[in-house]
Each structure stands twice: as C-alpha cells, then as structure tokens.
Structure 1
Amino acid sequence: MKKESCGLFGIYGHKDAARMTYFGLYALQHRGQESAGIVTFDGQKTFEHKGMGLVPDVFQENDLKKLLGHIAIGHVRYSTTGASQLRNAQPFLVHFKDLQIAIGHNGNLINTWELRQELENEGIIFQTTMDSEVIVHLLAKYLNGNSLENALAKALNKIKGAYSLLLLVNNKLIALRDPFGFRPLSIGKMGSSYVFASETCAFDLLEAEYIRCIRPGEMIVIENDRMSSFQFAEPEKPAPCVFELIYFARPDSIIFDKPVYLARKKMGEILAQESPIEADFVMPFPDSGVYAAIGYAQESKLPFEMAMIRNHYVGRTFIQPSQDMRDFGVRVKLNPVASMIKNKKIIIVEDSIVRGTTIRTRVKKLRELGAREIHMRVSCPPIRYPCFFGIDFSSKGELIASSQRIDEIARFIGLDSLHYLTIEGLKKSIEWQDNFCMACFNEEYPLKPGQKCGKFCIEW
C-alpha cells in the first residue's frame, strides 16, 4: 500500500524538552514506523538517541533522562529515499567547527543525485544514503563568511523538491517549508515554549495552542526565547499535497489550515452525490476509509456499519517486505463480521487504490462469506502518475489505474461496480482554491526535474 511521509516535532524553551518531543512523536507515529530519533541541546552540547522501530520501542525512561536540554527536535521516518537502516534514521547530527547541527526532514528532493555528485567531486564524504544529508553538506559549504540563516537560505536555493525541515543548531531552533509548501509544518505555543509539528494532533496531546501553518518559503528562527520570521525564498504557486487530506494525516489534525475529518467526510458526501446506488449498508475498510464512509452513508441515507473489525496490534500492511507477507498481514489485520455479510448488497468506501492487491484479498473474503453484491466507492480520483515529493509510489508500473480502465480494475478486484471521486468532486470537498498538488491524478507536476525551485531573496 501507500508509504508514509515522515513526522517532525520540535520544541524550544521547555525544561523537559525530550519528554515533550517523545509525546509529540507518539502522536505522529502514523507518519513513520521505521525509525525514531530525538536530539536535544542543553546550552553547551547536544545529546541524541535514535533507533529502528516504533517510538515506545526506541525510547525507554533511561533514554529520555539522558537527553538533557531545553531545546529538542524529533523525527519518525518511513524511507522514501535511502535504505531502511539505522544510519539513515533522523535527526541527522553533525559537528562543523563550533556548530552542532541536527536536521529532521519530511519530504523528498528531486535533484539529490546531481547535488551528491557535485559535492563528492569537491571531496565531500557522505555517511548515509538519504537525501537529507545533502542539505547539511550544502549548509556547511556556505557557512564560510555567511551567517547561519544566510548560509541555510543559499543552500536551500540549490535544492529542488519537497522539504519541511527542523534544524537544531546550538541554541537556535529553525523551522521552514519549501517554496511550494508540499509538506505540512505548523507552529504552536505551550505556555512560554514554542512547538512545531507536522500535524496539530501532536499539539492536542500536549495541550499546546495551534497558531498557524508555516508559509511556503518561510523560515522561522527561535533564539534567546525570541521568534523571527523571514521569507528565505519567493513563494511559488502553493502546491500542498492533497494526499495529506485524503490519507496521510490523522483525522483529528488540521492540515494546511483545513480540518482533516471534515474534508474526508465531505469527500464521502460528494462521492454519494456522484455515484448513488441501492444497498443494505455502507462500510469502510478500517481505518482509512471510515470518515469518507460516514459522509457517504449520511448523504445517501443508508446505514453505516463496521462490518470489518481491525486488529489494532498489527502494523500497517505496506510495511511487509514481500507480497506473500502483505497478504497474510491483510488477513491478520482485518476480519469481517460474517453474520453481517451473507446475502447483503454492500457499498465499500475506500480512500484510494494503489496496486489493488490488498483490496482484492479483502473483497474475495467477502465473496466467500456470501455477499450478494459488492460495490466500491473511492474518495479520491484514480492514481495514475508517480509522486516524486515524498509518497513512495514512484513508478507507474506500481499503479493499477495507470494501465487499466476502471471497469478492468473492478473485474480484477472482484466488484460489481467501482466509482472514483472525480477531480472536480475532490476540489469541491476541499474548497479548492487552485492551490493543491494533484499530480498523481492529473500529471500536472508543480515542479519537474530541471526546473529551478524558488529564488534566493534574503540576506542576513
């Protein structure tokens, strides 16, 4: 299935910064289940701890006690570039002259190879295979004769792609988003402390106040308890990733200043308007389709049923390394309520179809239990084109809708009918203002390889 982006959390000015970051990452665990890490600063030196696995497995009480300091940044990762190895876990920490630099990155750069070759030709040695390390080496390159902020802006002017970043550099905490604003990053306050997070659900857990989303091309610097905001690059036409609203974000979050729950429910409502059908009930495949299914059921005045039960102690199916294991994970993770299925006409609402193999297994099970008709409604348009900005469906060959018609997909999955939300319906559901990236649906990439990303526009 779909691979995640990553999750970022940062805090400035809290006596227990590591513990607060731990809880923040816990709230963002859905964004990355591969590795987790925290770096702190106590005014003199940095401390770090990271490891492979889930947040509560990586951090024990003794680990948090060793992470001293009042500033911290944390990261949960699902790799989009770079292998799944401990050396690629973030935050990535380096020491350069008198600076201790830690960086956490959510997104994906599209000119990493060119920049890496350029830097290696200059004698730079890389420690990891992830694109985020390129940013650190570029920063170090421009630090000679420049302030930290100015060097960072110059470095960012060289890279292309999606990046929301948190940097801890000695006593400074820096947060920024790329000029297109592909990936989310918000700022909040918890008492006198500043907090940053990929999603506002992390603020809710800590009872922090949500202030706003960081603007595209904006750099926020916090030092000596003071916050400064600068436009490090001219903002491009905004292109936040619409898949954050469709799938990635937790439904209790606010993403790009939009409530996720209401957006998904609206997708289901419009889906029901576009493709109504008589049935006994509407059901989701938990958990991703739940909120669109609620909207579909309410709009169509049909019962909403949870006719598949999720085992919450099983990891997401796409983490499995082979298709055989993925299919097994489907059976372990979701189990249908047999008494609800036999002789019923069922509408299944799903958020998306990538390969179709996981859904096919689930539908086959419903058929075996005696479902009379199975109709599927999908709360996004067909995914036909790869994403280069932090979602790991990077080749058309992985995408069933890139090579098959909708009726062919329906036959492959085993459905009586299949309807995807139209692009017009999706725009309506998110109150479209011509400012979302929908390239995976329409191939209209905001940024293509070889295109310059932003213009350097500030001097410190």
Structure 2
Amino acid sequence: MCGINGVLLADSSASASAELYEGLGLLQHRGQDAAGIITCGNKGRLYQCKGNGMVRDVFEPRQLVELQGALGVGHVRYPTAGTSSNAEAQPFYVNSPYGIVFAHNGNLTNSTDLRDFLDHEAHRHVNTDSDSELLLNIFADHLNKTGKFRVNEEDIFKALEGVYAQCKGGYACVGMIAGFGLIGFRDPNGIRPLIYGERATAHGTDYMLASESVVLDALGFTNFIDVKPGEAVILTKNGVKKRQCRSNEPFTPDIFEYVYFARPDSIMDGISVYKARLAMGEALAKAVLKELGSNHDIDVVIPVPDTSRCSALQASYKLNILYREGFVKNRYIGRTFIMPGQQQRKKSVRRKLNAMNMEFAGKNVLLVDDSIVRGTTSYEIIQMAREAGAKKVYFASCAPPVRFPNVYGIDMPTRQELVAHNRTASQVAEEIGADRVIYQAIEDLVESVRSLNLDIKQFDISVFNGCYITGDIDEAYLNHLEGLRNDNSKEARQAPAGEVIGLHNSLHA
C-alpha cells in the first residue's frame, strides 16, 4: 500500500513542492518506507528529491525550495514487491518519450510477462524489481508509438488504453508529462483508490490528485471526484479531460481500505471511512453477544489504538459497557503492520504502546482491533493487558479471519504466516493468548460498508475468502508471491548498510 499525489498550480511562478510535501505528510499512514517528490519547472526541467524514511526525514526546507515548478508528483512507499532499497523509492522517471514521471499505488499480477515484453519486444531498460517501473515503461512504450514531436490528450488516452490492455492487477497511478500536465488512472475494478479536486485562485484553477480525500480537504481543494474504475483523467491548465478506457469489469474496491488503511476523515468512493467503522463496531457488538451471550462478564471495552477507536466506541455503546482508553500510544513509532520484518514488528509493539494498569487491573476486558493478521501484535497486546492485571482478555476483530494473501497492493504475509490460516477462532485464541477471539462475519463487514453507498454491489474481500476478482491468480502465482514476501526472503534482499539513503538532484527532460 502506498500514498500518491500530484498537483498542478495555475500560477506558473508558484511552487508545487510545498503542497506535495504537506499532502505526503497526510498520507504518511499509507507508507513509511520511502518518500519522494519530482517537480517540473517552467522550461520542462525536472527536479527530484527522494529517499528511504518518513516524509519529515527525507525532505528538508532547502530541498523543497530547490524543487522548482508549479507541477509535480509525490509518493510515500510501502513495499509490496522488490526491496526497501533507495533505488526503488518513487516517483519513477523515464526520459523517453517526452519526460514521464509516475507514482503508483497497488500491485501488478502479471509483472513477469510485462518484464519479458519490455526486455524482448519493447527493448526498454528496467532498472529495479518494482512493478511500478514496469507500468511506467509500458505506458512510455505505448506513448512512444505516436512518433510525434509533441503529444495531445487523444494520444495519451490511446496510450492508456494500451496500458489497460496489458496490465493486470490493482493499481492507482498519478503521472506527469514534462511541460504538459498530470494524468491519473485507476484499475478496471477500482481496487485501489484515487480522487481529484480543484481550488479556485486569482490565477485560475489549481488541481490535485491524491489517494485519499483528506489531502484535498486539508489543502483547501473542493469538488472532489473519485476517478472511476478503468477511467483516466488528464489535468492541464486548460481544464480536465477524462475518458472511460476500460469498462464492463465489476467495481470492487478493497474493503481493507475501510477496515484499516484509510484515515477515518477520508471519504472513498462516496463512503465515509468514519461512518463505515462505526457501522463495523455496531455489527461487532452483535457478534460479541452472539458469541458470549447477554450474560457476559465483560467489564470494559478498550480499543487497540488508533484504527479501531471508532468501532470500539460504537461497540461499547451498543453493548452498554464502559469504554476506556487503556493503551497510550507513542506517536513517533510507525504502523507495525507495514514494517518490514517480523522481528522489527515484534519489538515495535511494546515501544509503540504502553498499558495503563488502572484500566486493566482486576477487570474482564474486551479488546477491539481492526484485524488480526500475523497475530504478532495481538499476542503482545494481550500479554501487556495481562501484565497490567486483566483477569480475562477477550479479543474482538472488526475484520473476519484473514486467511489469504492480498495480491493487489497490500503486503499480507504468506498463508503460513497468517495466524488464522487453517485455524479456527478457538485455535487463534490459543495462539495469541486470548480467552476468546470474536471475529466479524464477512457478510456483516460487507454490509457495514456497502450500506453507505448502495451503488457498490461488491468489494474485494480476497484476503478473507481467497477469491481474486481479476481471475488470473492460481496456486503457482501464490507460491511465487509467497517466496518473495516471506520475512526470510525480505531480510535477505535488504540493502547493504552502506547504501546511500537520500537522492536529490535535477533531471533533464
């Protein structure tokens, strides 16, 4: 999972870098591995700054000033393919044709075929293991076929139609063509999110594309419009042009965006993430009563901060049980789910959270979390609750059992590393040390989100049921993916200690 944004300012003397920097900070929850910005100056020259680390660590005020131009693209990275090396920090850039910049959120499922095509037929050099660079080069190859000195909107739409024909998987992309404008497009199933908006100024209209609406809202943009599945938009100083490049595919946004990844103050595909999580909490309360009965012995409901707070609050209201904040979070520790490596995740749990004894001592506690994935975090949290004096610890998950890897841009571990894979709820409870584990039912989760936008008929729930909407996922693919994603493989691929961490220079288009 990554965060992407792009901005086009009407005032050609203004700086896009500050807007992109602020936007990436608001998207930091979507990726903490690396961050990058590339801007385009008035003469078509590109300027970049990118590297490993958090947004605040990669960019310094001096560097932001040097990122010239009123047009630019930004990215925060959470690796799902390749390595965590600096070379794979985005956005990516190719000089030919025209100077193209790409930022990508998602994962391509036919990357092996695309790499073979680029090598043997298109004869385009790919420098990294990232599928994002593959997607960029596929687009560049199609655009190059125009043979024109300068391209127009029709050329770009035609090239993107070629991209849709070749690339499979879940993806949302923001691109920039030097001296021309921004492009944004979304996979045919709308698995990954993308939205754009505008802002009126004295010089004209500014435009911004982003993964989540919170970015546009915070930076003063209005008239938010979700990019439709299979749709491409082109933003220039002349306005917005859009085209449906691929249709007839089922619209299936990833439900895990609403469960965990997105900020609660975002609205995605017309659905308030906050309201969706409240609805999840209400449904979860019913699941608790079904599992434990109305004569349960729960004394207090405590959320695992931060994502589950909305759901835990609504569950406590429906259960008529006291809600308390039992864990204090160190906000300077990243999200453990998206940290590379099991050992790092395990160590970070106790550094991130501290249990308050007064809320646990002598009580039967219902802990509410958004999901249980590896079980590492859940186990440590339950142990902390017991060490703080809890008599019983019930653990409720807003998501159903996660039993299958995500192939569309979320780095779920291998099936063997998923604690619920081939285990019942009682076996999971034993594994993570809980007195009882209570899962949300799939149909209740889907209805919690779908009830807020009835136009969406289904969601991508492949992590729960193993049904992959693109229809191209088989056992061989899963085995290959798991070979790349298991923690031992990741650790072996980590960059050497002496690698350069930052990159800041100018590029010529």
Under TM normalisation by the shorter chain, which class is it?
over 0.9
Q: What's the CA shift for 1:431?
A: 2.5
- Listed one character per residue, the Cα deviations across residues 161-216 of structure 1 (whole Å, up to 9, x for unaligned) are 01101110121210110110000100111222111110111112212214221100
| Separation in 1, partners of 2:275, 2:442 | 18
| Separation in 2, partners of 1:324, 1:389 | 25
Cα gap change, 1:140 to 1:326, in 2 (>3 Å)? closer
Cα gap change, 1:13 to 1:89, in 2 (>3 Å)? same
1:440 matched to 2:449? no
Q: What's the CA shift for 1:444?
A: 2.0
Cα gap change, 1:144 to 1:317, in 2 (>3 Å)? closer
Matched with 1:454 is none
| Separation in 1, partners of 2:450, 2:137 | 40
| Separation in 2, partners of 1:137, 1:145 | 12
Q: What's the CA shift for 1:326?
A: 2.7
Contact 1:39-1:49 at 8 Å conserved across structures: yes
Matched with 1:269 is 282
1:225 matched to 2:224? no
The amino acid that maps onto 1:441 is F
Q: What's the CA shift for 1:278?
A: 3.5
Q: How does 1:338-377 map to 2 (within 5 A)?
A: 338-377=357-396
Contact 1:190-1:206 at 8 Å conserved across structures: no
Higher mean alpha-carbon deviation, 206-215 vs 252-261, is at: 206-215
Which residue, 226, 237, 242 being the options, matches 1:213? 226
| Separation in 1, partners of 2:140, 2:389 | 64
The amino acid that maps onto 2:253 is P
Q: What's the CA shift for 1:139?
A: 2.2
Contact 2:356-2:388 at 8 Å conserved across structures: no
- Listed one character per residue, the Cα deviations across residues 6-42 of structure 1 (whole Å, up to 9, x for unaligned) are 0011111242211111111110011011111111112
The amino acid that maps onto 1:449 is D
| 3-state DSSP of counterpart to 1:428 | helix
Matched with 1:204 is 217
The amino acid that maps onto 1:244 is E
Q: What's the CA shift for 1:322?
A: 4.3
Cα gap change, 1:118 to 1:298, in 2 (>3 Å)? same
- Listed one character per residue, the Cα deviations across residues 86-113 of structure 1 (whole Å, up to 9, x for unaligned) are 111111011014x010000000000001
- Structure 1 vs Structure 2: percent identity of aligned residues? 36
Which residue, 193, 200, 214 being the options, matches 1:184? 193
Q: How does 1:52-201 map to 2 (within 5 A)?
A: 52-97=52-97, 99-122=98-121, 123-146=123-146, 147-170=155-178, 171-191=180-200, 192-201=205-214
Q: What's the CA shift for 1:138?
A: 1.7
| Separation in 2, partners of 1:140, 1:439 | 31
- Listed one character per residue, the Cα deviations across residues 51-90 of structure 1 (whole Å, up to 9, x for unaligned) are 1111111111111111111111111111101111111111
Contact 2:450-2:457 at 8 Å conserved across structures: no
| 3-state DSSP of counterpart to 1:331 | helix
1:449 matched to 2:472? yes
The amino acid that maps onto 1:163 is Y
- RMSD between aligned residues: 1.6
Cα gap change, 1:317 to 1:200, in 2 (>3 Å)? same
Contact 1:263-1:429 at 8 Å conserved across structures: yes
| Separation in 1, partners of 2:101, 2:313 | 42
Higher mean alpha-carbon deviation, 229-238 vs 178-187, is at: 229-238
Contact 2:304-2:327 at 8 Å conserved across structures: yes
Contact 1:386-1:395 at 8 Å conserved across structures: yes
Cα gap change, 1:385 to 1:319, in 2 (>3 Å)? closer
- Listed one character per residue, the Cα deviations across residues 246-288 of structure 1 (whole Å, up to 9, x for unaligned) are 0000111111211111111110111102222441110011112
Q: What's the CA shift for 1:328?
A: 2.2
Contact 2:29-2:335 at 8 Å conserved across structures: no
| Separation in 1, partners of 2:117, 2:405 | 26
| Separation in 1, partners of 2:341, 2:466 | 29
The amino acid that maps onto 2:382 is V
| Separation in 2, partners of 1:311, 1:154 | 47
- Listed one character per residue, the Cα deviations across residues 336-359 of structure 1 (whole Å, up to 9, x for unaligned) are 101221110111111100111221
Cα gap change, 1:67 to 1:117, in 2 (>3 Å)? same
Contact 1:200-1:210 at 8 Å conserved across structures: no
Matched with 1:457 is none
1:385 matched to 2:384? no
Cα gap change, 1:186 to 1:118, in 2 (>3 Å)? same
Cα gap change, 1:447 to 1:256, in 2 (>3 Å)? same
Cα gap change, 1:144 to 1:372, in 2 (>3 Å)? closer
The amino acid that maps onto 1:237 is P
Contact 2:100-2:140 at 8 Å conserved across structures: no
Give the count of matched residue pairs: 446
| 3-state DSSP of counterpart to 1:270 | helix
Q: TM-score, normalised by structure 2?
A: 0.85
Structure 1 gap segments, 5+ residues each: 452-460
Cα gap change, 1:320 to 1:155, in 2 (>3 Å)? closer
Contact 2:184-2:234 at 8 Å conserved across structures: yes
Q: What's the CA shift for 1:379?
A: 0.5
| Separation in 1, partners of 2:473, 2:326 | 49
Higher mean alpha-carbon deviation, 296-305 vs 365-374, is at: 365-374
Q: What's the CA shift for 1:369?
A: 2.6
| 3-state DSSP of counterpart to 2:172 | strand
Higher mean alpha-carbon deviation, 312-321 vs 350-359, is at: 312-321
| Separation in 1, partners of 2:407, 2:346 | 27
Contact 1:203-1:210 at 8 Å conserved across structures: no
Q: How does 1:281-300 map to 2 (within 5 A)?
A: 281-300=300-319
1:397 matched to 2:416? yes
Q: What's the CA shift for 1:125?
A: 2.1
Contact 1:285-1:348 at 8 Å conserved across structures: yes
Matched with 2:494 is none
Which residue, 228, 232, 237 being the options, matches 2:250? 237
